[in-house]
Structure 1
């Protein structure tokens, strides 16, 4: 299975709050955000890990070049990366999609924080969902600490819709962990042709296109958008240790 990481944002809110490192190189529990994801993906039998970072932060591309050559802590990494600035996460996804054809893949943004044991169960569940004919298994959570959450409508754990507000009394919000089959790339291409630019519009388009999506509930999924989120993420990852 392939894994993909969107790491093309500039982390402007972190910078405004005094965090000098580019977001992929922000540390949580003494580990760079991008290294943490890559390590977890390797531990879940990644066939290839594709990453996009922007062309304005050379520290990140240099870090990835070093990893490509030397591995992660001496462990080889099946890494491929693109250096390109994009106007949105969906545009970044589109840039990566050429490498994601032909089989299932898992996509996330570089600042996504989750428990490693839950992610391992998620990967096993994704493989099972694909074998049952589903087009995707989306990571969701009932923990809401997001400025603009995307609510996920469900029937059982089958996904029925994505909403900007919670008028439908949804239990879950999107966690930004997307397990998808290659059919999703057709939907992505159509979104780009229509000039859409947000990942939530892509998710809604998956439903419009009749893709069968299932939800997988994580206890918490967090994003690191603000300096205080680093503290929250470290506290969350210490829970149960």
Structure 2
């Protein structure tokens, strides 16, 4: 019986400010934590022995896992030293061949089906920004080399972090990182196969969540559990949770997923590729498109929210605008050009007539006077 180990112990520091109070595996995408998609893909493949390694904010992760109807066993990584160390924490539970998967990347069931029967293999994918990942050099379907986050990537093929191993992997875990163990296996003459993923997506930086949200919304089922005024116009796939009310003359173009106990409208427009969490209030005459809005957010009237990630508990006054534009952003010592409207951490408060333009706002920032903001604003800042 094949076992699976999901590594969900890390913070996801490059996703800050969103991971300051929530591990990356629990970030909601299309209103479900990322780790849920990984567990679903394993269950669809008949893999029922699943070990989850938790660490950063482990109480929250354990609480969420306990709420799922899935056969999960939890192991704790005491200090977040790396993927190899996390896998080592699971060793006492492993009895045979195993799959290893990150708990904070999307992977589909077809990809797992491709790799689960192959001993000692790595799931690989093409990526336009390979330098953010382990870059894989392959010859004749066999992995020759894994280069971690190189400045100049030799190929566009990257490791997805999904592996199929025999128990001998544990004897190669000499450092705290799994790619080092794979390199040691290769150096020892062991063959590690490269298996192309069917579908895989990672959110490395906060704005990547918008692409992931768009992808995951393609899989939602239509369903209306809330109360919708007769004049509401719906097109495409729309899912609305229990206790949510949608006011008169609101227009919703799917795919859109709205959680439970929300209050939307009247006279609002919700455009495609938008997910809205639970207990969200969107006031009249507001337009939302291509955005990920987490739970307990309020967006004031006459606002225009486009290409934005709004963290939990943000309170935005009326006439708020997020404007997608491209600018150079430095992340982890690298400068890259990215186009999005805004990423707001938890508990951001913004005064009327605030405009965010390609802006990353830290947690608990207060904007006390309407103005145009761009670039980065650190946690806890008061903008006068």
Match of 1:233 in 2: 212
Match of 2:104 in 1: 111
Q: Does 1:150 align with 2:134?
A: yes
Give 1 or 2: higher strand fraction. 2
Q: Secondary structure at the match of 1:141?
A: strand
Residues 136-215 of structure 1: matches in 2 within 5 Å?
136-145=120-129, 147-164=131-148, 165=150, 169-170=154-155, 172-188=157-173, 191=174, 196-215=175-194
Q: Secondary structure at the match of 2:11?
A: coil
Q: Secondary structure at the match of 1:113?
A: strand
Give 1 or 2: higher helix fraction. 1
8 Å Cα contact 1:142/1:219 also seen in 2: no
The structure whose Rg is larger is: 2
State the distance in 1 between where 2:217 and 2:111 align.
Answer: 14
- 1:225 is displaced (CA, Å) by 3.2
State the distance in 2 between where 1:55 and 1:22 align.
Answer: 6
8 Å Cα contact 2:98/2:165 also seen in 1: yes
State the distance in 2 between where 1:149 and 1:45 align.
Answer: 29
Equivalent pairs counted in the alignment come to: 217
State the distance in 2 between where 1:38 and 1:220 align.
Answer: 15
Q: 1:66 to 1:98 in 2, by over 3 A?
A: same
Residues 76-87 of structure 1: matches in 2 within 5 Å?
77-86=70-79, 87=81
Please, which runs of 5 or more residues in structure 2 have no aligned partner? 221-384
Taking CA–CA contacts closer than 8 Å with sequence separation of 6 or more, which of the two structures ends up with the larger relative contact order?
A: 1
Q: 1:163 to 1:55 in 2, by over 3 A?
A: closer
- Equivalent position to 2:89, from 87, 90, 95: 95
Match of 2:48 in 1: 47
- The list of structure 1 runs, each at least 4 consecutive aligned residues, that deviate by more than 6 angstroms after superposition, is none
TM-score of the two chains, using structure 1 as the length reference? 0.78
State the distance in 2 between where 1:163 and 1:44 align.
Answer: 30
